[in-house]
Amino acid sequence: MKLIAGVDIGNSTTEVCIGEIGGDGKMRFLSSSSVMTTGMKGTVANTAGVIHALDAAMGKINRPVSEISLIRINEAAPVIGDTAMETITETIITESSMIGHNPSTPAGAGQAAGTIIYIGHLPEGKPGIPYIVTASSLSAYDEVADVINRYAKKLDIAGLILQADEAVLVENRLEHKIPIVDEVKSINSIPEWKMAAIEVALPGQSVRMLSNPYGIATLLKLDADETKAATPIAKSLIGKRSAVVIRTPHGNVKENVLPAGELYVKSDQVYPVNIDSGADRIMEVLGQAGEVIDISGQPDTNIGNMLINIKNGMGNLMGEESGEIRITDILAVDTLAPVQISGSLAGESCMEKAVGVAAMVKTKHLPMEKIADELKRRLHIYVKVAGVEAVMAALGALTTPGTRLPLAMLDLGGGSTDAAVIDSDGRVKTTHKAGAGELVSMIIQTELGLSSRHTAEQIKKYPLAKVESLFHMRLENGAMHFFENAIEPKYFGNVVLLHPEEMVIIDEDIPLEKIAAVRKDAKRKVFVRNALRALTEIAPGHNLRNIPNVVLVGGSAEDFEVPEMLMEELANYKIVCGRGNIRASEGPRNAVATGLVLSYTGGQQ
């Protein structure tokens, strides 16, 4: 009797499979486990996660780890997935101050333009000049209303900006109604005696003048060049209930333009492609280049800085010079990213065209042997770095009921998408492509403007609903779900994620429809595109119609909608595609770990 452990160290999770070889030489699978990977994949920090996973797997069969005779860990290729996001249009930074934080309680309606004046300086005002008055929270709402009513008889008071949440209270006491914006925390930063435009929309509507660059130009009397510079401000105010734009406190507009730049794909020659041409063109050039030696970007540009940061970060992690780090594959995805507007008083940003990049970073060494040595030292068990990861995954995929050779496998992980095809004679062809679950999470976080990557991860994993009463909610597919008993009031009116254990409230005020659209689009951009290019590369004759079956494995194959997306897409090529069920019990998980155990018995035979 001999216990063999297969260990798969992935970007996100570390998985273990325990098998027992009996006296007759036959393998019997005993247990498995999955834990979060500790540290970056391929570093000695992985050992803590491996030991934890071994403890969990052996604990299920009530046996100590010391009984294991051999540990086999995956021989990962020296490539590690990394992701980055950067704007790819020219970034225009203006010194205009603006407020557009979309408070829920503005008052009045309409737009006005005038000179900023603090409420305590109204005695200095002059008749015939329109004024926008600002009042801090030190002034009580009834005092503010009383002062405005007194001075409105001799001054032209066009609008009001409040620091406190008291717009409605003030408006109720005004003799002459004006647009009022409240909840402006940084009101003391508003420069006095500068021109400003204010707008409040009716309930259920959004501002129209200040979300239009020509509207801003009309209210603040801008010339053509100033109007162009105000475009990011107008874009950032789209959909807001109220807004204030203050004309350049320093008297002029300054721009700092950082170009998008060019990408250089090096193979037998250098293939340049301008980032502004978009992700489709980038991927087209990458396909034309053939076997890629390295990918770099134009210096002092958005894309150049992004790729340098990826190489430097990986070099620091692996203890290598950045010049020894090479990027051998990228997945470029068109998306939108928020760009901070310099001088904004409430942290405003505008959405700009951006590129999300997942990169396969090749180092001189991926120290799997160092991991093996550390495991030997700590566990006193022989550890062997075994078969290539994608090959092991393909072997594990073959344990799915209903499969046969020839067979293709897609391993949908966190950092990369790996593919392998086994022909009828057992020959294996593999490929590694940049981009998987982590890039999807990054796109979701960026496009929705989420403050937390954890929230983006949850949005990726679970379907949505809107709780419309204490007894029912509307699912994202439009169906209604009713509750037998009233749910907790905290869920009422919120968009929630349908976690198996409990509903999770999304704190950000984003419509359900937008969240669902961004999530699905991100998955299609990453998983569907990557699946097609990976399978095309390994397919006989590079023709997808020569692949009869595809088994989906890996953590992202457990996703509630990605397998269905791939099934629909691959059905166009008459390919049978579905989630794997490793050993008829593990679902799409544990393919590599299972393959490591199986390959040992195959080698013995």
Phi and psi at 382, nearest 5°, equal -65, 130
Residues 155 and 187 in one domain: yes
220 shares a domain with 105: yes
What residue numbers bound the domain in which 137 lies? 97-246
What single string gives the DSSP state of each residue in 103-115? -S--BS-EEEEEE
Distance CA 554, CA 532 (A): 17
Question: Taking residues 103-119, what's their average pLDDT?
Answer: 86
Q: Tell me whether residue 277 is exposed, middle or buried, using C-beta atoms within 10 angstroms of its C-beta: 0 to 12, 13 to 18, 19 or more.
A: middle
Tell me the per-residue pLDDT of 538-560, one tens digit each, with 9 for 90 and over.
999 999 999 989 999 998 999 99
Strand order in the sheet with 480-482: 480-482, 472-475, 464-467, 495-498, 503-505
**Any idea which of 36-45, 57-66, 336-345 has the lowest mean pLDDT?**
336-345
Tell me if 540 is assigned to some domain: no
Q: Is 138 exposed, middle or buried (0-12, 13-18, 19+ CB in 10 A)?
A: exposed
90 vs 234: which has the higher pLDDT: 234
Residues 6+ apart with CB under 8 A from 357: 83, 84, 85, 86, 306, 307, 310, 330, 331, 332, 333
Q: At what angle do helices 437-448 and 453-461 cross, to 10 degrees?
A: 110
- 61 and 102 share one domain: no
Mean pLDDT of the chain: 86
Distances (CA, A) of 279 to 58, 271, 286, 474: 46, 15, 10, 35
The residue among 246, 280, 313 that closes a domain is 246
pLDDT digits (tens, 9 = 90+) for 423-443: 888 888 988 888 888 889 989
Same domain, 173 and 226: yes
User: Which CATH number fits the domain that encloses residue 106?
Assistant: 3.50.30.70
Identify whether the C-beta of residue 592 lies closer than 8 Å to the C-beta of residue 6: yes
The three-state secondary structure class of 410 is strand
pLDDT in tens, 114-164: 999 999 999 999 999 999 999 988 889 999 999 999 999 999 999 999 988
Is the predicted pLDDT of residue 338 greater than 90, yes or no? no
What is d(CA 243, CA 520) in angstroms, rounded to the nearest whole number? Answer: 32
Residue 281 lies in a domain: yes
Same domain, 133 and 242: yes
Torsion (CA) 11, 34, 399, 558 in degrees, nearest 10: -70
437 found inside a domain:
no
Q: What CATH number should be reported for the domain holding residue 296?
A: 3.90.470.30
**Over the stretch 281-308, which tens digit does the pLDDT of each residue have?**
999 999 999 889 999 988 888 788 888 8
Q: What is the reported pLDDT for 137? A: 86
- Cβ–Cβ under 8 Å, residues 118 and 193: no
Closest C-alpha among 294, 539, 392, 293 to residue 76: 392
pTM of the model: 0.77
Where is the domain boundary, 345, 362, 379?
362
Question: Residue 89: is its pLDDT beyond 50?
Answer: no
Specify the number of domains making up the chain: 3
Q: How confident is the model at residue 564 (pLDDT cuts 50, 70, 90)?
A: very high
The answer to whether residue 356 sits within a structural domain is yes
- Among 82-86, 133-137, 594-598, the minimum mean pLDDT is found in 82-86
**Is residue 342 domain-shared with residue 285, that is, in the same domain?**
yes
We report the CATH number of the domain holding residue 378 as 3.30.420.40
Per-residue confidence (pLDDT) for residue 514, from 0 to 100:
93
pLDDT recorded at residue 240: 83
Q: Which of 183-197, 226-240, 472-486 has the highest average model confidence (pLDDT)?
A: 472-486
Compute the distance between CA of residue 288 and CA of residue 271 in angstroms, rounded to an integer.
Answer: 9
3-state secondary structure of 145: helix
Q: Which residue has the higher pLDDT, 230 or 477?
A: 477
| Residue 194 contacts residue 220 (beta carbons within 8 Å) | no
Is residue 534, in this structure, part of any structural domain at all?
no
Residues 156 and 281 in one domain: no
Whole-number pLDDT of residue 158: 94
Q: Are 114 and 194 in contact (CB under 8 A)?
A: no
Least reliable range by pLDDT among 37-41, 209-213, 600-604: 600-604
The DSSP call for residue 173 is T
- Residues 490 and 356: their CA atoms lie apart, in Å, by 35
- List the end-to-end C-alpha distance of the chain, in Å, as a whole number: 16
Instruction: Give the residue among 5, 8, 4 at the shortest CA–CA distance from 590.
Output: 8
What radius of gyration do the chain's Cα atoms show?
30
Most confident of 24-28, 343-347, 465-469: 465-469
Half-sphere exposure of 241 (CA within 13 A, CB side): 15
In a domain, 440, yes or no: no
**List of E strands, 423-564:** 428-434, 464-467, 472-475, 480-482, 495-498, 503-505, 549-553
Of 275 and 457, more confident: 457
Same-domain status, 156 and 234: yes
